[in-house]
């Protein structure tokens, strides 16, 4: 990439021209452009042109760090010193997938081990589920408290999972909306700065990233997932937050279910000890251990895992989840009576393979779209969703299926919707007689310390 362009005038169009022509921009130039995005002095056309110039020409690491920091600083950045928190501020982010309810379990679990987790999460996007949609399946839960209430809940419960507030990284909100309609979403520096700008505004001591790879992942290939993980770890650490990025498998749903209320049920089952193994538990436990190490809450991986196991077995992690749900307006007895509070779809249908065999492969994206077909995701951004619908008891790759063990069970609002979802589900799961190699669950771990 060409050296820093230093136009004689600081007109935004000159900054955009420089990036269009392949020059790298100085931190000062990037800060000016992001300020213009935030205060509206850059028009939508100029923001779109800038996004396209970045999409076509990329950014080097220094530019991506500067863009991340400018987005982080475009609004309020949370400070915690006045709360005198007796532990580190820790957080996790995932690039998204199907049956990925890690945040619901990890946040309370880390809080039970002495961390404080101020987690800003999002809604479902495309075929992937969203943590906020899952939380809103719980009656009464409000995921947009004001900043003061958010901070109080982090202090009292140790964890609060909420949506992005108007005060946090406002430049990202406008830039993302324009990227969405200008075909510039799939740009590595724009993706990284969007993720990290919001996360780092929360004043974290450490961050762990879960970057998915496989048929249900956002990134199209393993190499692309590794590149994203590496870039996130490098940029976040250079912006002052030690970060570990894991590349994990999304060639099948992480949990054996997908759907908002259904996934809350699964989170409760795991937190209360009804689930004691499986892919979801393994990935969540591994990510949580990385956070305990980064936050100096354990001095070895073995010690971190032992502390986590003790917090789960004692019920401390479940208690933190209950405290968070209650603090967000949900029922105080959700753990004791989930069936009383969580909605249940009226139609339940088991889908069996046409012949016995083993699951050879899963098009995980198609399973996610089956949930969208049922009404559990959005076809347009502002659409309402049905929290009760989805899939459960999804067979895993390598698992035997027959007349007794179904491919999955569909929870639907009507028989017609169940029928449509069944067609998609059958097309997504391949069954055969060949030996099957179960996909590797955790592919890579990349750790970066702040300079």
H helices of 40-95, where? 44-57, 61-72
Whether 93 and 203 map to the same domain: the answer is yes
Tokens 């200008």 belong to: 182
- The pair of structure tokens assigned to 259 is 């759907």
198 catalytic, yes or no?
yes
Residues 243 and 311 reside in one and the same domain: yes
Residue 92 annotated in active site: yes
Predicted confidence at residue 125, as pLDDT, reads 63
26 tagged catalytic = no
DSSP string, 188-223: HHHHHHHHHHHHHTT--SEEEEEEEESTT-SSSSHH
Q: In the block, which residue shows the tokens 């955009």?
A: 16
Out of 19, 89, 198, 323, which one is annotated catalytic?
198
325: three-class secondary structure by DSSP:
helix
- One domain, residues 285 and 412: no
Active site residue 194: yes
- According to DSSP, residue 409 is labeled E
Identify whether 110 is part of a domain. Answer: yes
156 and 274 in a single domain? The answer is yes
User: Which of the residues 19, 23, 72, 92 is marked catalytic?
Assistant: 92
- Numbers of helices and strands, H then E, in the chain: 17, 14
The CATH number for 245's domain is 3.40.1030.10
Place of tokens 């690039």: 95
The arrangement of strands across the sheet holding 357-362 comes to 400-401, 357-362, 429-432
Q: Are residues 10 and 36 located together in one domain of the fold?
A: yes
CB 229 within 8 A of CB 266: no
> pLDDT, tens digit, for every residue of 221-276?
899 999 999 999 999 999 999 999 999 999 999 999 999 999 999 999 999 999 99
Residue 64 lies in a domain: no
Q: Give the residue among 332, 96, 303, 305 at the shortest CA–CA distance from 195.
A: 96
| DSSP H helical ranges for 328-431 | 338-341, 364-374, 415-428
Q: What is the pLDDT of residue 383?
A: 75
Q: What's the CA gap between 184 and 190, in Å, rounded?
A: 8
For residue 33, the domain's CATH number is 1.20.970.10
Exactly one of 38, 74, 94, 193 is catalytic; name it: 94
Residues 43 and 91 in one domain: no
Residue 180 lies in a domain: no
Residues 6+ apart with CB under 8 A from 84: none
134 is catalytic: no
**Residue 71 maps to a domain:** no
Active site residue 179: yes
Check 123, 199, 285, 323 and give the catalytic one.
199
Q: Report the alpha-carbon distance of residue 319 to residue 311 in Å, rounded.
A: 10
CB 246 within 8 A of CB 208: yes
Weakly modelled stretches of the chain, pLDDT under 50: 7-8
Can you give the pLDDT at residue 8?
44
C-beta of residue 373 within 8 angstroms of C-beta of residue 359? no
Q: Both 285 and 201 in a single domain?
A: yes
Could you list the residue range(s) of the whole structural domain that residue 418 is in? 343-432
From the list 19, 64, 73, 91, the catalytic residue is: 91
Are both 381 and 286 inside the same structural domain?
no
Reported as a single tens digit per residue, the pLDDT across 9-35 is 579 999 999 999 999 999 999 999 999
Considering the candidates 19, 72, 89, 93, report the single residue annotated as catalytic.
93
Q: Is residue 401 part of a domain?
A: yes
Tokens of residue 325, six digits: 């749900």
Residue 297 and residue 303: Cα distance in Å, rounded? 9
Among candidate residues 205, 234, 196, the one with its CA nearest the CA of residue 295: 205
Task: With respect to residue 187, please indicate whether it lies within any of the assigned structural domains.
Answer: no
Please report how the helices 61-72 and 170-180 are oriented relative to each other, as an axis angle in degrees rounded to 10.
Answer: 120
Give residue 165's pLDDT.
Answer: 81
Which member of 194, 215, 251, 286 is catalytic? 194
Of these residues, 179, 279, 285, 323, which one is catalytic?
179
Structure token digits, residue 142: 């409000």
Query: Is 93 a catalytic site residue?
Result: yes
Q: Is residue 153 part of a domain?
A: yes
State whether 201 and 226 are in the same domain. Answer: yes
131, 165, 213, 243: the catalytic one is 131
Query: Are both 290 and 240 inside the same structural domain?
Result: yes
Q: Could you tell me if 15 and 142 lie in one domain?
A: no
- Closest residue by Cα to residue 95 from 238, 240, 262, 220: 220
Structural domain includes residue 177: no
369 and 402 housed in the same domain: yes
- In the chain, the number of structural domains is 3
């Amino acid at each position: 990439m060409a050296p820093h362009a230093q136009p004689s005038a600081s007109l935004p169009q000159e900054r955009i021209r420089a990036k269009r022509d392949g020059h790298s921009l100085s931190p000062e130039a990037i800060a000016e452009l992001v300020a213009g995005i935030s205060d509206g002095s850059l028009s939508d056309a100029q923001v779109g042109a800038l996004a396209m110039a970045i999409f076509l020409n990329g950014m080097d690491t220094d530019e991506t760090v500067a863009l991340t920091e400018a987005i982080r600083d475009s609004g309020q950045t949370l400070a915690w010193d006045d709360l005198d928190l007796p532990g580190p501020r820790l957080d996790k982010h995932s690039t998204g997938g199907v049956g990925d309810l890690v945040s619901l379990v990890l946040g309370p679990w880390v809080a039970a081990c002495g961390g404080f987790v101020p987690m800003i999460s999002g809604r479902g996007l495309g075929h992937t589920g969203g943590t906020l949609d899952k939380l809103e399946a719980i009656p009464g839960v409000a995921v947009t408290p004001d900043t003061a209430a958010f901070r109080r809940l982090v202090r009292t419960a140790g964890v609060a999972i909420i949506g992005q507030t108007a005060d946090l990284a406002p430049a990202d909100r406008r830039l993302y909306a324009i990227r969405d309609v200008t075909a510039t979403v799939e740009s590595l520096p724009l993706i990284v700065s969007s993720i990290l700008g919001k996360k780092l505004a929360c004043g974290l001591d450490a961050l762990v990233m879960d970057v998915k790879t496989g048929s249900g992942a956002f990134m199209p290939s393993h190499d692309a997932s590794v590149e994203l993980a590496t870039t996130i770890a490098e940029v976040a650490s250079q912006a002052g937050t030690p970060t570990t990025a894991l590349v994990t498998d999304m060639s099948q749903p992480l949990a054996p279910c997908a759907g908002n209320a259904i996934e809350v049920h699964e989170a409760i089952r795991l937190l209360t000890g009804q689930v004691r193994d499986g892919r979801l538990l393994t990935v969540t436990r591994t990510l949580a251990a990385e956070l305990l190490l980064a936050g100096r809450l354990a001095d070895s991986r073995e010690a971190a895992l032992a502390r986590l196991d003790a917090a789960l077995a004692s019920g401390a992690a479940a208690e933190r989840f209950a405290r968070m749900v209650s603090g967000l307006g949900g029922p105080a007895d959700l753990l004791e009576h989930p069936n009383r509070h969580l909605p249940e779809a009226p139609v339940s249908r088991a889908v069996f393979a046409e012949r016995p065999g083993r699951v050879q492969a899963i098009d995980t994206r198609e399973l996610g779209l089956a949930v969208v077909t049922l009404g559990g995701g959005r076809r347009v951004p502002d659409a309402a969703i049905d929290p009760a619908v989805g899939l459960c008891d999804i067979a895993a790759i390598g698992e035997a299926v027959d007349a007794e063990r179904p491919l999955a069970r569909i929870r639907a609002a009507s028989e017609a919707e169940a029928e449509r979802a069944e067609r998609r589900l059958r097309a997504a799961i391949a069954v055969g007689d060949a030996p099957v190699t179960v996909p590797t669950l955790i592919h890579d771990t990349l750790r970066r310390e702040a300079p």
